[in-house]
Amino acid sequence: MARIELRDVAKRYGSVEVLRDINLEIQDGEFIVLVGPSGCGKSTLLRMVAGLEPISSGDFLIDDERMNDVRPRDRDIAMVFQSYALYPHMDVARNMGFSMEIRKDPLAERKSKVAQAAETLGLANLTDRLPKALSGGQRQRVAMGRAIIRDPQAFLFDEPLSNLDAALRVEMRLEIARLHQKLSATMIYVTHDQVEALTLADRIVVLNGGDIQQVGSPLELYERPANKFVAQFIGSPAMNVVPVVGTEFGVTAGNGTEIKLPDQPLAAQAKELGVRPEHIDVVNNGTGDLSAVADVVEHLGSDTNIYVNVEGIGSIMVRKHGNIPVKPGERLGLRIQTENAHLFATDGTALRRVA
């Protein structure tokens, strides 16, 4: 398998810079997820690794060998496309074995490998069908089979699940996770879905506007986001962020409420306070840090989402485990779990608390 390294990689289209200062080291067998909003350059980065898009500057290395100008076919990397990109005039077996056909591998070997992959992916009785006679999930499996068969140095996935319905997406996500455990191959996976990112990744790379915002394990990103963008992008539902005025002991919210943050030495520089919905407790009216009025209440069974209005601050979302008997219009008190609160400076960078 392979260790992949990107050093100061950039991508420019004319004078437009779509990716800059990309530095990333991917360990052998690691599952890396590139995540970010659409247009952040994540697919372009993946296509640069694949060799389908030229690298404007910087170095791209596989196992310490510079591969910038190596053609896609010589990089020994397999890719699963968002659109599946199955060859419509070839049946499933030929689609899967196409790379071996190009390499002129012996027919017998090709047949046995295709049969084996089809078996693993549950496609054994579909091998003589054309792609148009397959369902979305089956096409997705064929696309994966085509990648697996090559036994490549690394796998690239470009939003492979975004065309599937919700139930199938969960199922295929699980299969990709299993595949990674089984092959222990280096994998780079692009998605805009943070749930996919959090569930699959060893490490997540958060991209925005052509820059890497943060690289870290799912828990690192959740617990110690480097800036406001990562804080709001990772975690569902998104983090509440409200403007505050930093003081020596904590922060003062828009309605004058003081919130003490004893373990935050940099609170004085804070311009915004971020608290995840699950880190706010609902307490009796009149107690806690803030007084709020419930606006919309969503009962999900396992959780309750409460959208509340706080005078002088605005709408805040609170998520509590289990079924919380709150009715719209009811007045409540909110207590912020200050040990889980995040502070952001003017430029959006997180002010680290003492560890």
Least separation in angstroms between residue 214's CB and another protein is 29
71 lies in the binding site for another protein (CB under 8 A): yes
Pairing between strand 240-246 and 272-275? antiparallel
Q: How far is the first Cα of the chain from the last one, in angstroms, to the nearest whole number? A: 36
Choose the stretch contacting another protein; rule: CB under 8 A; options: 2-10, 85-93, 280-288, 310-318. Answer: 85-93
DSSP per position, 155-167? EEEESTTTTS-HH
Choose the stretch contacting another protein; rule: CB under 8 A; options: 21-29, 67-75, 260-268, 316-324. Answer: 67-75
Number of residues that bind another protein (CB under 8 A): 33
Q: How far is CA 10 from the centre of its chain?
A: 21
11 lies in the binding site for another protein (CB under 8 A): no
Least separation in angstroms between residue 25's CB and another protein is 23
Q: Which of 83, 112, 255, 285 binds another protein (CB under 8 A)?
A: 83
List, in order, residues 6 or more apart from 221 with CB less than 8 Å away: 204, 206, 214, 230, 234
Asked whether the beta carbons of 1 and 153 are under 8 A apart, the reply is: yes
Question: By rule CB under 8 A, what string of x and - marks binding of each residue 316-335 to another protein?
Answer: --------------------
- Between 121 and 156, whose beta carbon lies closer to another protein? 156
Give the footprint of another protein on residues 25-64 (CB under 8 A): 47, 50-52
Q: Can you tell me the distance from the alpha carbon of 113 to that of 91, in angstroms, rounded to the nearest whole number?
A: 15
Q: Can you tell me the distance from the alpha carbon of 321 to that of 301, in angstroms, rounded to the nearest whole number?
A: 9
Q: How far is CA 348 from the centre of its chain?
A: 20
Least separation in angstroms between residue 11's CB and another protein is 15
78 lies in the binding site for another protein (CB under 8 A): yes
H-helix segments, the chain = 42-50, 92-102, 107-120, 136-148, 166-183, 194-200, 218-223, 228-233
86 lies in the binding site for another protein (CB under 8 A): yes
Least separation in angstroms between residue 325's CB and another protein is 43
- Between 158 and 272, whose beta carbon lies closer to another protein? 158
Least separation in angstroms between residue 123's CB and another protein is 15
Q: How far is CA 245 from the centre of its chain?
A: 32
Choose the stretch contacting another protein; rule: CB under 8 A; options: 20-28, 125-133, 209-217, 238-246. Answer: 125-133
Least separation in angstroms between residue 97's CB and another protein is 10
Q: Which residue has the tokens 């990772």?
A: 234
128 lies in the binding site for another protein (CB under 8 A): no
Q: Can you tell me the distance from the alpha carbon of 98 to that of 78, in angstroms, rounded to the nearest whole number?
A: 12
Length of the chain equals 355
Choose the stretch contacting another protein; rule: CB under 8 A; options: 81-89, 118-126, 238-246, 341-349. Answer: 81-89
Give the footprint of another protein on residues 129-158 (CB under 8 A): 130-134, 136, 139, 146, 150
Q: Can you tell me the distance from the alpha carbon of 230 to that of 348, in angstroms, rounded to the nearest whole number?
A: 10
Backbone angles phi, psi at 312, to 5 degrees: 85, -10
- Between 12 and 103, whose beta carbon lies closer to another protein? 103
Contacting positions for another protein (CB under 8 A): 47, 50-52, 71-73, 77-79, 81-89, 98-99, 102-103, 130-134, 136, 139, 146, 150, 163
